Structure 1
């Protein structure tokens, strides 16, 4: 596999890019995943530097071309309707999260609308009924939004982050924070953390 040790940029490297964004919220889970991939901290930093250079390069092409170059052809291509628009969802497997897929959603003009982790087609999702069910890395944005509808989307503050304000069955309001579409932590509406990686 091309990637960290070689000159190419492959799926293992891309997983490290996702982990880098998640490290701000779940350093322990990220450390475990990085170790499982057999990559040092310095190598992870270097991969992230190379990814940022690739994204900013005028020769990089569009986002879809970039993902094809790094991840290969998508495992699944789905047509989805959003209102009156027909969209295309490209899905790639990533070994770190076997029940999830990296999804790139493209609009009718081919431009990328969204890039994040979603549940793999046919894979069972988590049962989400209480605050205790909202554990780090257990659920995707879509799953939390469905389980606690209606929800309010808040500004995530930085690219590839999302915040959902949810109301739990007892009436308590919480903010679920996501990186690349995967749940990282849950806060009170005032910003106090109420869950951790344990």
Structure 2
């Protein structure tokens, strides 16, 4: 075999194998990580929280705390109001802070105009029972724009109905609750709304 042919043939084999290796792995590649500031705010409270070079006045009122099952973490509910004194705009809502777990504190911001829909969803989820699905197990979920999520589900291991809440965007944190604790959390969110109504 001619040495130049052998060299060309070797180069072709190397190029072909590199292309096929890259082609096989291309679908597995994830996009480059982005800065959290790249993402647009999902609600009015997040928009205000993310403002730079702006004087903001924040007011908070602690409503209550509910503990997770077996003492694993807690969820704190606060009514909040953020004001821009220069451009006279005000936003209000509820802050739910989930503490515990490897992620530390995770805050979920819920705009005032989202509270009623959340409370209605919680009412529906709290009524969930075996008749909600024709299958043996079920799960009822509701998520706000700010990624606060409630869940009521039938556990596989003991067929008991349980609840959980979850929050976070990049890192999520889940807190398991009893149905009674989810009812308390619903009451606290309602109390936070009442507190905001008093200051309007």
TM-score category of the 2 structures, normalised to the smaller one: under 0.3
Q: Taking structure 2 as the reference length, what is the TM-score of the superposition?
A: 0.28
Q: Taking structure 1 as the reference length, what is the TM-score of the superposition?
A: 0.28
